[in-house]
Chain A
Amino acid sequence: MSDPVHEALDHRDPEGARVGMWLFLLTEMLLFGGLFLLYAVYRGRYPHEFASAGKELSHVFGIANTFVLLTSSLSVACCLTALQKGQKRLCMTLLAVTALLAVTFLVNKWLEWGAKIHHGLYPGGPGLIGRPPGEVLFFGLYYSTTGLHGLHVLAGLIVLVVVLGLVAVDRVTPDDHVLLENAGLYWHLVDVVWIFILPLFYLTV
């Protein structure tokens, strides 16, 4: 820490920061890729059971959350443009809106999981006992995938709030905004993954 030569490097190369972020996003996609691979194999093996299990998920929650996330992607994209144009206050407002939408998503998810668990639809739960293996696997994958995605929403939320703070204290500025840009990229990734989750789990029929 005593060494400004090495410390300074982090900020000198925004292009490098972007390269690093895209590589990181690649690893995130591959992380979810493993789950999607399992989904593909099991859906191929149990097509009817996946279809019938998918009917039990709530379209209302799924589509509401899609709307929430897509709107948040719009607001995070706008906040970058706002900062680039020097409108710090607008940027902060839009970031706050994005963070609020992230919270909304998580609350929805909480209610949705709660309803499922209330009906005993969880791994080893009474609602799943005696069901065919395809349906058990469907719910196993549903909880793993949306759970991992939920953790990413949470991580994204924390990042957004931190960046909001950094914009407020002028550590992220119109001239040096790669951090905000990268936070936005991460948020878009969270969104993109959800775009795949929605049809795979909620729209199986």
Chain B
Amino acid sequence: MSQHEPAGADARSYLDRQGAGGLWSWIGSVDHKRIGVLYLTLMVTMFWVAVTIGILMRIEQWTAGPTIMQPATYNGLFTVHGVIMIFMFVVPGLPAVFGNFFLPILIGAGDVSFPRVNLASWWFFVTGALLAVLSLFTGSGAPDTGWTFYAPYSLRTGTNVSLAVFAAFVLGMSSILTGINFITTVHRLRAPGMTWHRMPLFVWALYATGWIQVIATPIIGITLLLVIAERFFGIGVFDPAKGGDPLLYQHLFWIYSHPAVYVMIVPAMGAITEIIPTFARRTIFGYKAIAYSSLAIAAFGSIVWAHHMFTSGMGEAANLVFSLFTFIVAVPSAIKVFNWTATLYRGSIELAPPMLYALTFIFLFSLGGLTGVMQGALALNVHLHDTYFIVGHFHYVMFGGTGFAFFAALLYWFPKMFGRMYCRATAVVAWVPLFVGFNLFYFSMLVLGLMGMPRRYFDHLPQFHTGHSVATVGAFVLVLGLAIFFGNLVKALFRGERAPADPWGGRTLEWTLSSPPPVENFAAIPTITGGPYAYNPGRKA
């Protein structure tokens, strides 16, 4: 615990009423902290919408045959579940919420480089979210293509694909602007003495993420625009009836969407890298290895896209090359896992709620990562492609990985962001159904997939019944955990105890500020004299 008076304890907090107050002082604010909170609010809302849709799908699978809906409804639901979760929760989740809130603070800056662009980026996000929701209820039915919008079906279906695709395009613009902003901020606004190798590793992760966003997102932008042009004007570039090649759609889609999964996971890894040293009371093991592995993931992650297409008929040579790269891209992720565990070794571990969730992340992400490597093997991939194994793997990485990292980061930084402490015991209680329910749910999916259950079917054969029942029970347990988790935080917002400046004994810059931080962050821009995780005196950080 920090004994000294935090800097700016007497200053106005960013949560205090500003100007005329009211809604506009939030949705028109260019303060990176307020924008982070805006993102958090909208994202958690969209998360719950998608969770509800997910639960409806699980109820549908409770019995064979139609349970509560018809096949067309199911198609719409899994599409919308995917679109919301991917484009509105896991892709922007950590960078937009915690990146916005903490990136400037962690490098000792007053704000990001382009505060107004940052606000514009949030407004793009709102617009995209509204359009996506609108696409469900207008036109001729919710889009039913799956979140991948594969041609030629996406060109032919009569459902409201154009609007959903345009929503994804707008969300992409939001993502690009955030990426540009973060890269520029890291280059230009580091405090004096904050050299590249003194930056907290979350900043490195955000920096790598920014580059992926900037380089990959325009490709999906043009691809989605072409889908719209194809639907309205029939230009033919993806339409086999006109000489176009649908396989090219898949290539262009995955040139973005594979790197996008690293947009989802790299900042999550960055947040975990902040939490582990704090609660192990040790300097991070292998600082540079972790920093550069983020960049390595960004680099290798952009040349593995076609491993989503092993069964699409690309040809042997392409399959072999992309299989090889897929194995290689697992290496930098593994480097991080080994560094985290090495940091724990001989640490003085405090199993506080953020740490519990962070450790859970390592376990679930490792499972997700390893099942991913399995799919990199060509022979096995043919068997697993388009089965529940893929869905299970994806949820282990994206929910077990990014989702749990989001929860861990929320528990870690909540007291800083809102100046209130939640009930720690309740956070631990919530972990039990979250962990148990999660594994019941998604491990069943892995098993079902190996047995041959295809993804995106609204119905199942009798031999899959047991697996589906276990998964549905798991899903309900998981949602119970989510309810306790978020209920605890919402309660803390209003009735939580006042949080001290440094409740966890952290060493990075955000803990030198009062909780919640003052409007200007730092009364005077600090001068940095050492590494970010100064736990071991006498040892170089």
A binding-site residues for B, Cβ under 8 Å: 1-3, 5-7, 9-10, 13, 15-17, 19-20, 23-24, 26-28, 30-35, 37-38, 41-42, 46, 122-124, 132-134, 136-137, 140-141, 143-144, 148
Distance in Å from the Cβ of A198 to the closest Cβ of chain B?
Answer: 20
Instruction: List chain B residues, Cβ under 8 A from A34.
Output: 218-219, 221-223, 226, 252
Kindly identify which residue among B112, B234, B243 contacts A134, using a CB–CB cutoff of 8 Å.
B243
With A26-B214, A144-B229 as contacts: A20 and B219 at CB distance below 8 Å: no
Instruction: List chain A residues, Cβ under 8 A from B237.
Output: 38, 42, 137, 140-141, 144
Distance in Å from the Cβ of B102 to the closest Cβ of chain A?
Answer: 16
Instruction: List chain B residues, Cβ under 8 A from A28.
Output: 218
Question: Is B38 in contact with chain A by the CB < 8 A criterion?
Answer: no
Distance in Å from the Cβ of B357 to the closest Cβ of chain A?
Answer: 32
Q: In the bound complex, do residue B221 and residue A31 qualify as a contact, i.e. CB atoms below 8 Å apart?
A: yes
Instruction: List chain A residues, Cβ under 8 A from B491.
Output: none
Q: How far, in whole Å, are A46 and B20 apart by their CA atoms in the complex?
A: 64
Kindly identify which residue among B19, B111, B236 contacts A123, using a CB–CB cutoff of 8 Å.
B236
Q: In the bound complex, do residue B225 and residue A148 qualify as a contact, i.e. CB atoms below 8 Å apart?
A: yes
Distance in Å from the Cβ of B113 to the closest Cβ of chain A?
Answer: 5
Q: How far, in whole Å, are A26 and B217 apart by their CA atoms in the complex?
A: 11
Q: How far, in whole Å, are A28 and B180 apart by their CA atoms in the complex?
A: 12
Kindly identify which residue among B31, B112, B222 contacts A31, using a CB–CB cutoff of 8 Å.
B222
Q: How far, in whole Å, are A37 and B179 apart by their CA atoms in the complex?
A: 24
Q: What are 22 A-B contacts with C-beta separation under 8 Å?
A: A1-B19, A1-B29, A1-B30, A2-B25, A3-B19, A5-B520, A6-B30, A9-B112, A16-B113, A23-B180, A26-B214, A27-B214, A31-B221, A34-B218, A38-B226, A123-B235, A124-B233, A133-B243, A136-B236, A137-B237, A137-B244, A144-B225
Q: How far, in whole Å, are A30 and B172 apart by their CA atoms in the complex?
A: 13
Question: Is B69 in contact with chain A by the CB < 8 A criterion?
Answer: no
Q: How far, in whole Å, are A5 and B25 apart by their CA atoms in the complex?
A: 15
Question: Is B346 in contact with chain A by the CB < 8 A criterion?
Answer: no
Q: In the bound complex, do residue B30 and residue A20 qualify as a contact, i.e. CB atoms below 8 Å apart?
A: no
With A123-B233, A144-B237 as contacts: A2 and B19 at CB distance below 8 Å: yes
Q: In the bound complex, do residue B115 and residue A6 qualify as a contact, i.e. CB atoms below 8 Å apart?
A: yes
Instruction: List chain B residues, Cβ under 8 A from A137.
Output: 236-237, 242-244
Distance in Å from the Cβ of A183 to the closest Cβ of chain B?
Answer: 15
B binding-site residues for A, Cβ under 8 Å: 18-20, 24-25, 28-32, 110-117, 176, 179-181, 183-184, 187-189, 214-215, 217-219, 221-223, 225-226, 229, 233-237, 242-245, 248, 252, 519-520
Q: In the bound complex, do residue B222 and residue A26 qualify as a contact, i.e. CB atoms below 8 Å apart?
A: no
Q: In the bound complex, do residue B31 and residue A3 qualify as a contact, i.e. CB atoms below 8 Å apart?
A: yes
What 8 additional pairs, Cβ within 8 angstroms, besides A3-B29, A19-B188, A23-B214? A3-B519, A7-B115, A20-B181, A27-B214, A38-B226, A136-B236, A137-B236, A141-B235
**Quick one: closest B residue to A147, CB to CB?**
B229
Q: How far, in whole Å, are A9 and B19 apart by their CA atoms in the complex?
A: 19
What are the 5 closest A-B residue pairs judged by CB atoms, nearest first? A133-B243, A2-B19, A140-B235, A34-B222, A30-B218
Most A-side CB within 10 Å, residue of B31, B214, B237: B237
Q: In the bound complex, do residue B181 and residue A33 qualify as a contact, i.e. CB atoms below 8 Å apart?
A: no
Q: How far, in whole Å, are A40 and B20 apart by their CA atoms in the complex?
A: 56
Most A-side CB within 10 Å, residue of B113, B219, B225: B113
Q: In the bound complex, do residue B248 and residue A13 qualify as a contact, i.e. CB atoms below 8 Å apart?
A: no
**Quick one: closest B residue to A35, CB to CB?**
B222
Q: In the bound complex, do residue B519 and residue A1 qualify as a contact, i.e. CB atoms below 8 Å apart?
A: no
Most B-side CB within 10 Å, residue of A9, A41, A136: A9
Q: In the bound complex, do residue B215 and residue A30 qualify as a contact, i.e. CB atoms below 8 Å apart?
A: yes
Q: How far, in whole Å, are A134 and B244 apart by their CA atoms in the complex?
A: 9
Q: How far, in whole Å, are A3 and B30 apart by their CA atoms in the complex?
A: 8
Q: In the bound complex, do residue B215 and residue A26 qualify as a contact, i.e. CB atoms below 8 Å apart?
A: yes
Instruction: List chain B residues, Cβ under 8 A from A143.
Output: 233, 235
